Structure 1
């Protein structure tokens, strides 16, 4: 995609994302336990840009269910304990929209938010969901949150049969600010594996939940169902990291806090 303007990813962009999800060359293995593996790429102390890749084998979740769970904004509000606020802003095409997401960071690090252009594509029985940061005039940075930048983030879901799949999450982000080393370490050894586990648990409970919450409403599968307003690309621009305030949190000391394991 162009570095100068907002574009909706094409087939080549999806193919490139999938190839990077599957490639291990240049990545450093940092965690490998049970069904979950985590790699990092070029993480350097003092550098603000982070690149992490997580892969989880889900033996009891179909690719179709995983795809639904990662799309369903209303369900995310239930299972994602780190979410502060998330909503869709508008649609661009049948497989692309713009949305807002804010999340809790480990104290005393400031919480973050992001506005992204998200696109998705089924490829046979596999699926890709990916996003990158954009600017929208109606949703400027907030005073109490740090606006992060997604350079390219997303999921690759590979079907392994009727009731199993492999989920790969890859994030290339600039959280804006020099994060403490302990945050980077915890993200690779604790936060990322924990987040993958929570996604898996959310998938196991999704069918029952969905039956009680508008069970036939899946606009990511049936675009004619969408209630989002259509927005033109001209309302969006690339979110550049250098245009945002740089917050130096590198000296913040780690605090003890118990994460919700449910």
Structure 2
């Protein structure tokens, strides 16, 4: 059975194969953005109870970044504070095993949208041919909804990194429900600006990472060396169902009246090809 919202378990081969199929597949995808080294697609999902949440996929070729460096950058929580200007807060709470943790991520959304946050189980895998990282939302007693944020859901979000003779290719897949009452045009804006901006910023971050890492605990990489992990173990009793999740009424989540002209898309245009 594929992992769903709220499921907390160690993924099996079927879960990894599902992600690979989404990342590598072509059927049903509609291209929304195209540049020589960057493509973005959208796809309507047919899964039960997720019909209004679109799948988005981005693919970028980076000739000057190794797959190993990309994998390190995607993992390094300390460095993310340096390059991810959308992150307001992020940290790992606990681990299930050396390749699975539970983490929190709060993001700044472009005005006039309200900020979102996520609680996720994150999984990673390193093989000779690829690196995989993906997550999905779970519900944890120590991470209830927070004041000032709309708690969003990730059905499946992740990265597939493939080595190339020169550099690497990065495939980003996400199926997330931002919650609130967003107008339909927001999805197209996300595909047009947010995904390309993320890929460009990741590329720039990777080119700067080796020099940064040499000055910031260069040998500390717990995603590669499990003996360096210091996080506490996951406690099954701390998991809740979605129905048990306490509500937070401190922020109004109706964004249906937002006008497209008010959307500050310029914040995504600082990195161009």
Q: What TM-score do you get using the length of structure 1 for normalisation?
A: 0.91
Match of 1:9 in 2: 11
Q: Given the alignment of the two structures, is residue 250 of structure 1 paired with residue 223 of structure 2, yes or no?
A: no
CA distance in 2, matches of 1:15, 1:137: 30
Residue 150 of structure 1: how far off its partner (Å): 0.4
- How do 1:211-250 and structure 2 match up within 5 A? 211-237=214-240, 239=242, 247-250=253-256
Match of 1:53 in 2: 57
Q: Structure 1, residues 204-249: CA drift from partner, whole Å, max 9, x if none? A: 0000000000000000000110111111334224557998689331
Kept after mapping to 2: 8 A contact 1:48/1:179: no
Residue 177 of structure 1: how far off its partner (Å): 2.2
Kept after mapping to 1: 8 A contact 2:3/2:11: no
Query: Which structure has greater strand proportion?
Result: 1
Moved more, 191-200 or 3-12: 3-12
CA distance in 2, matches of 1:66, 1:183: 29
Kept after mapping to 1: 8 A contact 2:144/2:245: no
The alignment partner of 1:98 has SS state of strand
Kept after mapping to 2: 8 A contact 1:48/1:175: no
Q: Structure 1, residues 124-181: CA drift from partner, whole Å, max 9, x if none? A: 13110000001110110012000000011100001113x4111000001111123133
Tell me: CA distance 1:244–1:21, structure 2 relative to 1, closer, same or farther (3 Å). Answer: farther
Kept after mapping to 2: 8 A contact 1:86/1:99: yes
Aligned residues: 258
Tell me: CA distance 1:122–1:256, structure 2 relative to 1, closer, same or farther (3 Å). Answer: closer
Unaligned runs of 5+ in 1: none
CA distance in 2, matches of 1:132, 1:240: 17
Match of 1:74 in 2: 78
Q: Structure 1, residues 47-79: CA drift from partner, whole Å, max 9, x if none? A: 852321101011111110000000001100100
Unaligned runs of 5+ in 2: 46-50
The alignment partner of 2:223 has SS state of coil
Q: Given the alignment of the two structures, is residue 166 of structure 1 paired with residue 172 of structure 2, yes or no?
A: no
Match of 1:63 in 2: 67
- How do 1:32-51 and structure 2 match up within 5 A? 32-42=34-44, 49-51=53-55
Match of 1:132 in 2: 136
